[in-house]
Amino acid sequence: MAGRRRPGSLAASAGADRHALLHARFRWSVPKRFNIAQACCARWARSTPDAVAIRWEHEDGRAASCTYGELQLAANRLANLLRARGVGRGDRVAIVMPQRFETAAAHMAVFQLGAVSMPLSMLFGPDALEYRLQHSEASVAIVDESAIDAMLVARAAVPGLHTLVAVGGAQGRGDLDWADALPAHRGRFTPVPTAADDPAVLIYTSGTTGPPKGALIPHRALIGNLTGFVCSQNWYPHLDPLAPGDTGPPAVFWSPADWAWTGGLMDALLPTLYFGREIVAYQGRFAPERAFELMQRHGVTHSFLFPTALKAMMKAVPEPRERYRLLLRAVMSAGEAVGDAVFAYCREQLGVTVNEMFGQTEINYIVGNCTRSLDARGRVAAGWPARPGSMGRPYPGHRVAVIDDDGCECPRGTPGDVAVHRRDVHGHPDPVFFLGYWKDGAATQAKFTGDPDDSWCRTGDMAVMDDDGYLWYQGRSDDMFKAAGYRIGPSEIENCLVKHPAVANAAVVPKPDAERGAVVKAYVVLTAGIDAGPALVAQLQAHVRGKLAPYEYPKEIEFIDALPMTTTGKVQRRVLRLREEERARSK
């Protein structure tokens, strides 16, 4: 892409801040009738049937691609198959597959049936699958070789699951084989009309107590996600023209985020398809070098990378510009605080200012950053400046505040619970909200504070809002703790530890202490080739003590081979915290 920046372009206005303007001009437009499958596939199958929708690659070298026309044809055949098996409006269909063409086709088929897709991680064991299948009363499951063994064990305890559709290497082990059954069904399907408020997705999310809760997501929630997606991807799918007429490479999206979770489904797959663009599906374990190779090979322009992934990439390939030719235009990151070390790496080595984002399954994509945007004339303009370590500001269309236990907004600079109001700053309903927890009205009610039509939805994440409206993450409300009277948030200490060359990753939790209530303890994963020992412990303690407040340095450090992680890439500090509490009780 050739050409030089013109006067008045983004380069000349990098310090501009259009956040207030974007909020003031934005209005939600949510039709009464809306269906995700029609918006993400059917309309493109009609207008651009030969455009590539998914480019798939397996870690063993197999590769394939499918167009929007092919995706729609498979969705139609599967919808007819599912209807023949008794699936109708509102029925739950489990989809237990990784990033592959059939996963996307399954979601489209379920959506246009008016049914509810229930994505489940291929990493789930039999017990996890059994609970979700039983609790949701799913009648059909679509599964490939990655989860067929666990699914067959779970199925024995779920009599309501009457049909198992086997995909790929699982064929021959279910009731129907995808490859054999689909061609027998018609390639045309008349979609069931759905209201924007009708349920579309059921995603089970772990809580701090009790079994997982099923968050029921309506079709309109995709619309509610779009402002955040567009902004965090620097005005996706538009690129960054350097001169009039320049268009740059086509938008190609990739993320290692599992499509079974909100991050992969609502922050990657569905919004990319909504805009009729190409998404890369990679089936295999994440590895830093492989991630760089994948982005280079497929010309990836936009990505969602967890902080955990970015940290691994930073440690493994400190100077990627010398080894890879990347076309990145934007990187969004979420799930944990990015920290200024990773922030600087992305800016200096990947050539992008990483846009942090914050959201959760129930109310996704609500806060974040936007480095670049387009003005009303289609010219490149600033979004709002990213501040290293900040979660960002509310995305257009969302009224976000930090509130106290009584539901009142906290003064700026005071920690509180991040919450989203049911109505935006203009008083209009915000479409991003979930419908409620499946079969758990009490938990749904507890999520909100205030009158039903004038209420705040609490995230359970603690933050401080500064005078400019930027949010600064303090940790989960259950991750926060006090040590010797000081309120401790783990993310800042973890970020400091990761800056040390010996540290690959770290998690900070309270260790019970009779005298001080708790002391700061760090679990540390070392960089390959580094030996643990008392000298290194002292070195890391001095490293933190020299950069943060004296009470924040870890009084104890335990080296560990790997941190406990969720299937979405988040550190499970709760597991480590419970371990410390158990140790204290056993003394």
Pull the structure tokens for residue 9. 């372009």
Q: Is the pLDDT of residue 476 over 80?
A: no
Handedness of CA 242, 248, 252, 256 (dihedral sign): negative
Pull the structure tokens for residue 528. 């390959």
CB atoms within 10 A of CB 5: 14
Domain boundary among 216, 235, 267: 216
Question: Which segment, 91-105, 119-133, 360-374, is predicted with the most confidence on average?
Answer: 91-105
Domain boundaries, position 66: 36-216
Q: Is the pLDDT of residue 577 over 70?
A: yes
Residue type at position 441: G
The answer for residues whose C-beta is within 8 angstroms of residue 451's C-beta and 6 or more apart is none
pLDDT at 124: 86
Q: CA-to-CA distance for 290 and 141, rounded, in angstroms? A: 31
pLDDT at 1: 26
Report the CATH number at residue 517.
3.30.300.30
The reply to whether 406 and 374 lie within a common domain is: yes
The reply to whether 544 and 513 lie within a common domain is: yes
Residues 519-562 have pLDDT tens digits of 999 999 999 999 999 999 999 999 998 888 788 899 999 999 99
The reply to whether 224 and 212 lie within a common domain is: no
The reply to whether 363 and 486 lie within a common domain is: no
Question: In this structure, is residue 110 part of a structural domain?
Answer: yes
pTM of the full structure: 0.86
Question: In this structure, is residue 276 part of a structural domain?
Answer: no
Q: Is the pLDDT of residue 3 over 60?
A: no
Question: In this structure, is residue 504 part of a structural domain?
Answer: yes
Question: In this structure, is residue 41 part of a structural domain?
Answer: yes
What is the pLDDT of the chain when averaged over all its residues?
91
The reply to whether 346 and 487 lie within a common domain is: no
pLDDT at 207: 54
pLDDT at 308: 85
- Tell me the percentage of the chain whose pLDDT exceeds 70: 95
Report the CATH number at residue 57.
3.40.50.12780
pLDDT at 170: 98
CB atoms within 10 A of CB 549: 12
The reply to whether 207 and 226 lie within a common domain is: no
The reply to whether 491 and 418 lie within a common domain is: no
- pLDDT band of residue 241 (cuts 50, 70, 90) is very low
Average pLDDT over residues 237-260: 74
DSSP 22-86: HHHH------SB--HHIIIIIHHHHH-TTSEEEEEEETTS-EEEEEHHHHHHHHHHHHHHHHHTT
The reply to whether 185 and 75 lie within a common domain is: yes
Query: Pick the residue with more confidence: 260 or 480?
Result: 260
Q: CA-to-CA distance for 160 and 141, rounded, in angstroms? A: 11
Question: In this structure, is residue 7 part of a structural domain?
Answer: no
Question: In this structure, is residue 100 part of a structural domain?
Answer: yes
Question: In this structure, is residue 341 part of a structural domain?
Answer: yes
Scored b (16 or more CB within 10 A) or e, 12-47 reads: eeeeeebbeebbeebebeeeeebbbbbbbbbebbee
Question: In this structure, is residue 390 part of a structural domain?
Answer: yes
The reply to whether 152 and 94 lie within a common domain is: yes
The reply to whether 94 and 134 lie within a common domain is: yes
Residue type at position 79: A
pLDDT at 242: 42
Domain boundary among 421, 439, 472: 472
Q: CA-to-CA distance for 544 and 495, rounded, in angstroms? A: 10
Q: CA-to-CA distance for 229 and 226, rounded, in angstroms? A: 5
The reply to whether 418 and 514 lie within a common domain is: no
Beta pairing class for 302-304 and 252-254? parallel
Domain boundary among 472, 500, 526: 472
Q: How many domains is the chain built from?
A: 3
The reply to whether 529 and 466 lie within a common domain is: no
